[in-house]
Amino acid sequence: MDIQQCQSFAFLLPSWSANQVSQGFPNHRSLLPVELELCRGGGGSDYPQCEIRERAERKRKKRRRDLEGESCGKCWKAWKSGGSLEIRWKLLGMEIASKVSIEEKRWTLNDFEIRKPLGRGKFGHVYLAREKKSNHIVAIKVLFKSQLKQSQVEHQLRREVEIQSHLRHPNILRLYGYFYDQTRVYLILEYANKGELYKELQKCKYFSERRAATYIASLARALIYLHGKHVIHRDIKPENLLLGVQGEVKIADFGWSVHTFNRRRTMCGTLDYLPPEMVESVEHDASVDIWSLGVLCFEFLYGVPPFEAKEHSDTYRRIVEVDLKFPPKPTVSSSAKDLISQMLVKESSQRLPLIKLLEHPWIIQNADPSGIYRSLSPV
């Protein structure tokens, strides 16, 4: 299936290459593996495209000077002549080896062998796939343009792609690239072969303190990374988490995330995980993710969210009042309750900072430092 230049879907054509697949995807097809840092200009959710283009051009010129200046003149001449060669360089502090071809091609559906379905969502489906040239196993998320347009989430999708494609963290699902045709958009994602954390929680009903602490610590590190790049996730919950090949937890959905230097007003996310400031329609900042992580920790340990109620209005009331009650069963340590209580605080500035969370006694005593939960029991 050839790629069509669809003007009606031009929102998915940011200034960086649509088929750029960065390190971690073997034998990718980009002229230069340009790593665009998250834009540091402006205070809204959109990236100034002109600045991104300027930054990319400066990086290309600098990389060319580096190649020429480090006794790599022969390599650069071979690169320009259209040959294919093995080049080693240091990219953002990481040593990578890439086999690069001068011919830049767009991904198409024909580049992948589509296998079993992995799941379905509101706007499309997710399939297991194999990239034919490299044999790399990925997940392909197929989104239908008609449904995206009907729900008016084109801008949200573009923002999600721009943010997630630039993130590099072991506890964040990689977005390698995307392509599209006349009716669909295809996202090329890292395959998390142990599936959805939500299903695992449903099967177990609740997690042991060791398991919960390991996941919470890993997510705290991922959120510290995100906040350092001025990204607020705004929708941390079990349904948006996957488990990788070793059982490591990964944040997998960035549909409500935003890149910003300012406080925000948009009410978004999931009812049971909403912080008081969103319920009350006041400005919020990155501390909304600390609240959501506290709710998640409670649900991991008790199997239900802390402010759940029969009526939505009662849930809203309990959130605003921080009506936090710990059930008698299952048995949970006082140290775990202390951590949750320090995260679920109405005044956002008083919530336990994520760095301090990692130093909390409950985390130190229970979380596996590797970030990988190794089961010693059914839960």
**Alpha carbons within 13 A on the beta-carbon side of 343:** 28
Q: Which of 97-106, 177-186, 311-320 has the lowest average pLDDT?
A: 97-106
The backbone region for 141, taken as left when phi is positive above 0, alpha when psi lies in -120 to 50, beta otherwise, is beta
The residue type at 241: L
Q: Are 257 and 163 in contact (CB under 8 A)?
A: yes
Q: Are 88 and 97 in contact (CB under 8 A)?
A: yes
- Show binding-site residues for ATP: 122, 141, 190-192, 239-240, 253
Q: What is the 3-state secondary structure (H, E, C) of 106-133?
A: CCCHHHEEEEEEEEECCCEEEEEEEECC
Helix axis angle for 49-69 and 73-81, nearest 10°, is 120
Digit-coded pLDDT (tens) for 136-192? 999 999 999 999 998 888 888 998 999 999 999 999 999 999 999 999 999 999 999
pLDDT value of residue 155 = 85
| Angle (nearest 5°) at CA 250 between 274 and 272 | 15
Is 197-366 the same fold as 109-190? no
Q: Which of 36-45, 48-57, 282-291 has the lowest average pLDDT?
A: 36-45
Q: Which architecture does CATH list for 197-366?
A: Orthogonal Bundle (1.10)
Return the DSSP state at 38. Answer: P
CA 191 to CA 312: how far, in whole Å? 35
- Show binding-site residues: 122, 141, 190-192, 239-240, 253
The residue type at 309: A
Beta-carbon neighbour count of residue 297 at 10 Å?
26
CATH code, residues 109-190: 3.30.200.20
Which range, 74-88, 243-257, 357-371, is most confident?
A: 357-371
- Please spell the DSSP secondary structure of 157-176, one letter per residue: HHHHHHHHTT---TTB--EE
CA 232 to CA 254: how far, in whole Å? 9
CA 50 to CA 44: how far, in whole Å? 15
pLDDT value of residue 209 = 97
Q: For 190, phi and psi rounded to 5 degrees?
A: -60, 140
State yes or no: pLDDT of 365 exceeds 50. Answer: yes
Nearest C-alpha neighbor of 241 from the set 258, 254, 231, 230? 254
Q: Label the pairing between strands 112-120 and 94-100.
A: unpaired
Helices (H), the chain: 49-69, 73-81, 145-150, 154-164, 197-204, 209-228, 276-279, 287-302, 312-321, 334-343, 354-357, 361-366
pLDDT value of residue 268 = 53
State yes or no: pLDDT of 286 exceeds 80. Answer: yes
Peptide bond into 353 cis (omega under 30): no
Catalytic residues: 235
Residues 6+ apart with CB under 8 A from 350: none
* Sign of torsion over alpha carbons 339, 343, 345, 349: positive
Residues 6+ apart with CB under 8 A from 178: 12, 18, 19, 107, 161, 165, 185, 186, 187, 188
Peptide bond into 26 cis (omega under 30): no
Q: What percentage of the chain reaches a pLDDT higher than 90?
A: 54
Beta-carbon neighbour count of residue 227 at 10 Å?
18
For the chain, domain boundaries: 109-190, 197-366
Tokens of 285: 């900042």
